[in-house]
Amino acid sequence: MPQQKSGWRWFLSYAQSVLAGLIGIQSNEKREQDLNEGGLERLIYIGLGTLVVFVLIVVTAVNSALPD
Amino acid sequence: MTDSPKTSFKAGKTALKLVLAAVAMFGFGFALVPLYDVFCEFTGINGKITGPVERVEQWVDTTRTIKVQFITTNNAGMPWEFEALQEEIEVHPGAWTQVEFWALNPTQKDMVGQAVPSVSPSEATEYVQKTECFCFSQQTLAAGEGRKMPLIFALDSKLPPHIRTVTMSYTIFDAGAFAEK
Amino acid sequence: MFSRTWQRLSSVVLSLVSAPAAMADWELNMPQGVTEVSQSIYDLHMLIFWICVWIGVVVFGVMFYSIFTHRKSKGAKASQFHESVGLELLWTAVPTAILIAMAVPATTTLVEMYDTTDTDIDIKITGHQWKWQYDYLGEDVGFFSNLTTSQDEIYDRTAKGENYLLEVDKHVVVPTGKKIRFLITSNDVIHAWWVPEIAVKKDAIPGYINESWVIVPEGQEGLYRGQCAELCGVDHGFMPIVLEAVTPAEYEVWLVDQRAAAEAEAAAALGDFSHEELMTKGAEVYARSCAACHGVEGAGMGNVFPALVGSPIATGDMAAHIDIVINGKSGTAMQAFAAQLSEVDLAAVITYERNAWGNDTGDTVTPKMIIDAKQ
Amino acid sequence: MTTATAHHDDHGHHGPAKGIMRWVLTTNHKDIGTMYLWFAFTMLFIGGAMALIIRTELFQPGMQLIEPEFFNQMTTMHGLIMVFGAIMPAFVGLANWMVPLMVGAPDMALPRMNNWSFWILPFAFGMLLFTLFTEAGAPNFGWTFYAPLSTTYAPSSVTFFIFGVHMMGISSIMGAINIIATILNLRAPGMTLMKMPLFVWTWLITAYLLIAVMPVLAGVVTMMLMDIHFGTSFFDAAGGGDPVLFQHVFWFFGHPEVYIMILPAFGIVSQIIPTFARKPLFGYASMVYATSSIAFLSFIVWAHHMFTVGLPLQTELFFMYATMLIAIPTGVKVFNWVSTMFRGSMTFETPMLFALAFVVLFTIGGFSGLMLAIAPADFQYHDTYFVVAHFHYVLVPGALFGIIAGVYYWLPKWTGHYYDEKLGKFHFWMSFIGVNVTFFPMHFIGLAGMPRRIPDYALQFADFNAIASVGAFIFGFSQLIFLYLLIKTIRGGEKATDEVWEGAEGLEWTIPSPAPYHTFAEAPEVK
């Protein structure tokens, strides 16, 4: 398995990839680094992370739109 | 095909992982059933009212009166006479009230019925508390037998203010196929 | 080499080719409807339609321009650019902004549609396999609404009426200016109650109650026609809805008439009827409620619906025949007609079935026999 | 992209076996691909014949040709056969043929399983089609088979339908496992994930979608089986079940399924447009991002098929917003295609014509989809012919034109001959006119209020229905031109070069035409 960065820096790079996933733009180096380190598995986890963040955004939008 | 043993082993490993994923998703398909029940109870969308609650005397909000309507429907192939004896009553949120339903089996054979509750507006479902209801269990009526069935309920005082009418609907089904022997 | 405008040209040519006179009744768009909700839905529909058209014009414009000019036959040299983060950001941000702009009016309209509070009148609508039942809560008025388009019209034996397949024997009468709440459920499979002009569509699900509402504004009295909008079996296309909006005064009069008619019908059941009277009435009831499945001549429909001509039930034991018409046969499409037809109609149709098309058993079923059987 | 210096020498590899057993026992990805494609083409004609029966009945108001009961059977079988029998096997056939060639693999990772996943299909559809000849008749509850119509009120043939769906599901899952194992493990050295052709990327993502949702479909039909035969009550309110639960579980499978049917077409179009614009695909990375975000989003939008079922307000708002946001990645793809064409040097052979028609007409389907996403408006659109127009625009000029474009594009590589270009253009224009004349009027009659799945309609819908029926016959019979062209090209025609299309990039263009029985015995070197 590729060398595991220290917990905090791994999370930071993962969070950055998730945000990039949301807007669909990411620098090529970061993407190559994601791919070489974890391969497709990592991309799937990033995708799931993006999905969770996306659902939270939509749920907050719904709650703000609801009449109380 | 003459692919090298290393790749065919890796391919086999990938395939195995995917088979497990497929079996897991098959299980997930079935897990959606309990998940759906939890989701319904949480949002109360399909009238799945939780079972009998203890009757606890609670604060009665006398400032508001809610019109509660009772409607009944016979599902296809269910010849029972089934109706609410009071079509409409006024209640205060928090007050325990009892109403009566009438059911008669006009056929020549014993039958088992199951009443399914549903509340409109659906957001009011979680505020309906019942201590006794014929919908909690299957009702057996012998040939020609008729019976009054009580329903004791209260509307939670935390019922949202914009709800002024609650309609409680009961559909009676022929539950012969699911009768608990 | 045809260009891509052919697609637009063909749809324009198509509508020109048909006689302009026929254009008048060509329904091209969603009805604006008569209620506030249907109008706001129509406005939302047109807003999003025009947004899509403008985006289409821009995108396809660029595309057709490039198809015309950047051709090998015109000596265009292909440039090799294939990356631009700026452009990517642009066409992610702009659509997001457009979508948010669409979401705001859509949310307000949806919230408005879900507000079923403080209604004046409650009508329970029950979907059956292939007809609608209406009960006015607290008014003791309830009836079934059957399709009245005849089988002859459907099978091209006679000319089609103006409201072909959209006409029923009993209209749902509602007062204008009042907020009406619909409690929609079903008796067997999933149906959907839909009247386009008032923009009400809700699924009818067995065992569950769905609610919807409408306010038909004053001055919009009239007939509004709709259909079942969820596949529910053989005659899914033959269970229409006719909503009749009347002034509140007329509505009250109508309620009284309905109650009176119900009593008259109950009283009539006690009187006695001659064989001929039952036969003529029976033929009429048969055409309206039974022909759709058992066929006009009682020939049935393949193996889906049994034939009545010479059927063991129609020529055999009368009590069994009465029982099956009153209580239906569970597990089949044969419903219980006890709640749907009056005692007189039941007696008449059973007499007719036992004596028509060569089944002449000579029996006469009287309304009293139906009342005894119903006990 | 990939420039390869593959050298291969087919020194007397054993060619294919002779006779019928070649096809029954083959584990060669090319033979299995061919069988999938011919099977899908046969199913297209069978499903198409049913569509013509439906359109003939709907040509005029009144019941002229068939009974309502048989009409419901035709709509159900038309949907099932086109979705599970024509579109999906055609994509699997294209994947079987092209994925190994594009990634430089000698064959699929699991060749024997590949054979089995094809040979299940003829028996699954044989069983489904034979129900037409049973006394109870074929399934008549729509291809979405909602309970309780499909459980308590179903004809007795529903059990054959359930086992048929099980077999199709198993075949699709095995196909998906094979494709993922091939792409992940058998890529030529040097071909990193970000150097793979986009068709391979879209199929990799589609395969993951298949693995995730086909089992859920198997689950829902198993629940149906237990409800009908073993006395459970998943969907029967009498025993504590809920018919709406069925719709949730079905559409949780249903929406990813419709993306399974369009993502491979995105991949094919992304291969064709760069070749004929002689320009690299614009924004390759953003295309991969867009495809994967479409795949992830497709799991949380299913309830937009159920806006009128009586969902609570907050659920309805959530699914409206999530569905609207899917328009963004789809928009990104369309913008990327248009930017690929921009300032290219284009020629318009038949694959390019079909790809361009795909971009234009699929986007029209996408726009009507966006209109349907607006929940309040959907109360007027739901279950009308507007919805029928929407999904036929994304499926016929969408998925089907994508498949036909792929076949025209790779046909010279498979057969070694160029197809007759004039005949190809004739087929294109007939299909293009037929598709629009058939499905564009359906927008109007749907908006005007004609519900779906009805065998007869009121008089105000008569004129457009007549036009749609005429269009259906034009489109249907123009596919015979395609059949004639295919046979003509297989038997002969102008010899195809290895590169086939001027400047085409990809490993599949480095091997001779017709592609030898065994290719890439040694993996090619990819820079």
Tens digits of per-residue pLDDT, C90-149? 888 999 999 999 999 999 999 999 988 888 999 999 999 889 999 999 888 999 999 999
**Residues D173, B22: Cα–Cα separation, whole Å:** 8
Radius of gyration, CA atoms only, chain A:
15
Residue B22 lies inside a defined structural domain of this protein: no
DSSP C198-249: GTEEEEE-BT--EEEEEE--TT--EEEEEEE-S--STTGGG--EEEEEE-HH
- pLDDT tier for residue B100 given thresholds of 50, 70 and 90: very high
Q: Which residue of C has its CA nearest to B114?
A: C207
Helix (H, G, I), strand (E, B) or coil at D514: coil
Q: Which residue of A has its CA nearest to D287?
A: A24
Among C301, C174, C176, C324, which Cα is nearest to C244's? C174
Angle at CA of residue C181, ends C179 and C186, nearest 5°: 160
- Taking the CA of residue D382 and the nearest CA in chain C, the distance in Å comes to 8
Question: CATH code at D40?
Answer: 1.20.210.10
Question: CATH code at B70?
Answer: 2.60.370.10
State pTM to two decimals: 0.91
CB-based contact, B171 to chain D, within 8 Å:
yes
Residue D89 lies inside a defined structural domain of this protein: yes
CB-based contact, C126 to chain B, within 8 Å:
yes
What are the domain boundaries of chain C?
A: 21-113, 121-263, 272-374
Bond before C175 cis per omega within 30 degrees: no
**pLDDT number for residue D5:** 35
Which residues of chain D have a CB within 8 Å of the CB of B181?
none
DSSP D456-490: S--GGGHHHHHHHHHHHHHHHHHHHHHHHHHHHHH
Number of domains chain D contains: 1
Which of D63, D342, D452 comes nearest C66 by C-beta? Answer: D342
Does C92 contact A67 at a Cβ distance shorter than 8 Å? no
Kind of pairing, strands C179-186 and C121-128? parallel
Angle at CA of residue D52, ends D51 and D58, nearest 5°: 95
**pLDDT number for residue B47:** 59
Residue B55 lies inside a defined structural domain of this protein: no
Q: Is the dihedral of CA D268, D269, D271, D276 positive or negative?
A: positive
Q: Is the dihedral of CA C112, C114, C115, C119 positive or negative?
A: positive
ipTM of the complex as predicted? 0.90
**Residues C18, C21: Cα–Cα separation, whole Å:** 8
Residue B10 lies inside a defined structural domain of this protein: no
> Model confidence over C186-217: pLDDT tens digits?
999 999 999 999 999 999 999 999 999 999 99
Does A48 contact D192 at a Cβ distance shorter than 8 Å? no
CB-based contact, D300 to chain A, within 8 Å:
yes
Tell me the fold of C121-263. Immunoglobulin-like (2.60.40)
pLDDT of B1 higher than 50: no
Which residue segment(s) compose the domain that B144 sits in? 66-178
CB-based contact, D456 to chain C, within 8 Å:
yes
Residue A2 lies inside a defined structural domain of this protein: no
Which of B69, B164, B173 comes nearest C118 by C-beta? Answer: B164
| CB C7, CB D436: distance < 8 Å | yes
Does D324 contact C102 at a Cβ distance shorter than 8 Å? yes
Give me the active site residues of D, please: 78, 107, 143, 171-172, 255, 257, 259, 270, 304-305, 330, 333, 452
CB-based contact, C332 to chain D, within 8 Å:
no
Does A58 contact D322 at a Cβ distance shorter than 8 Å? yes
How many contiguous H segments (helices) and E segments (strands) does chain A have?
2, 0
Q: Which residue of B48, B73, B135, B174 to mutate against C (max C Cβ within 10 Å)? A: B73
Which residues of chain A have a CB within 8 Å of the CB of C92?
23-25
Q: Write down which chains contact chain A via at least 3 CB pairs under 8 A.
A: C, D
Q: Which of residues 46-75 of B touch D (CB under 8 A)?
A: 46, 48, 75
Which residue segment(s) compose the domain that D369 sits in? 24-509
Does A24 contact C92 at a Cβ distance shorter than 8 Å? yes
Does D296 contact A48 at a Cβ distance shorter than 8 Å? yes
Which of A23, A61, A67 comes nearest C111 by C-beta? Answer: A67
Counting one residue from A and one from C, how many pairs have CB atoms under 8 Å apart? 14
Residue B171 lies inside a defined structural domain of this protein: yes
Residue B51 lies inside a defined structural domain of this protein: no
**pLDDT number for residue D481:** 96
Number of domains chain A contains: 1
Angle at CA of residue D330, ends D329 and D331, nearest 5°: 90
Which of C80, C81, C106 comes nearest D375 by C-beta? Answer: C106
> Model confidence over B126-180: pLDDT tens digits?
888 888 888 888 889 998 889 999 999 999 888 888 899 999 999 999 888 777 6
Q: Which residue of A36, A62, A68 to mutate against D (max D Cβ within 10 Å)? A: A62
CB-based contact, D507 to chain A, within 8 Å:
no
Tokens of A18: 């998730």
Which residues of chain A have a CB within 8 Å of the CB of D289?
21, 24-26
- Taking the CA of residue B176 and the nearest CA in chain D, the distance in Å comes to 9
Does C121-263 match C21-113 at the fold level? Answer: no
Does C107 contact A65 at a Cβ distance shorter than 8 Å? yes
CATH 1.10.10.10 fits C272-374, yes or no: no
Counting one residue from C and one from D, how many pairs have CB atoms under 8 Å apart? 299
- Considering the segment(s) C21-113 as one domain, its CATH architecture is Orthogonal Bundle (1.10)
Which residues of chain D have a CB within 8 Å of the CB of A35?
192-194
Which residues of chain B have a CB within 8 Å of the CB of D311?
45
Does A28 contact D296 at a Cβ distance shorter than 8 Å? no
Radius of gyration, CA atoms only, chain D:
23
Does C52 contact D279 at a Cβ distance shorter than 8 Å? no
What is the pLDDT tens value at each position of chain D, 527 positions in all?
333 333 333 344 467 778 888 899 999 999 999 999 999 999 999 999 999 999 999 999 999 999 999 999 999 999 999 999 999 999 999 999 999 999 999 999 999 999 999 999 999 999 999 999 998 899 999 999 998 999 989 999 999 999 999 999 999 999 999 999 999 999 998 888 888 999 999 999 999 999 999 999 999 999 999 999 998 999 998 888 899 999 999 999 999 999 999 999 999 999 999 999 999 999 898 899 889 989 999 999 999 999 999 898 888 999 999 999 989 999 999 999 999 999 889 999 999 999 999 999 999 999 999 999 999 999 999 999 999 999 999 999 999 999 999 999 999 999 999 999 999 999 999 999 999 999 999 999 999 999 999 999 999 999 999 999 999 999 999 999 999 999 999 999 899 998 899 888 889 999 998 888 888 888 888 87
**pLDDT number for residue D338:** 94
Report the b/e string of C95-134 with b at 16+ CB within 10 A: bbebbeebbebbbebbbebbebeebebbbbbbbbbbbbbb
Mean pLDDT of chain A: 78
Sheet holding B128-132, edge to edge: B81-84, B97-104, B146-155, B128-132
- Taking the CA of residue D14 and the nearest CA in chain B, the distance in Å comes to 11
**Residues D413, D104: Cα–Cα separation, whole Å:** 15
| CA dist list (Å): B148 to B81, B98, C303, D235, D385 | 11, 12, 42, 29, 48
| CB C200, CB C214: distance < 8 Å | yes
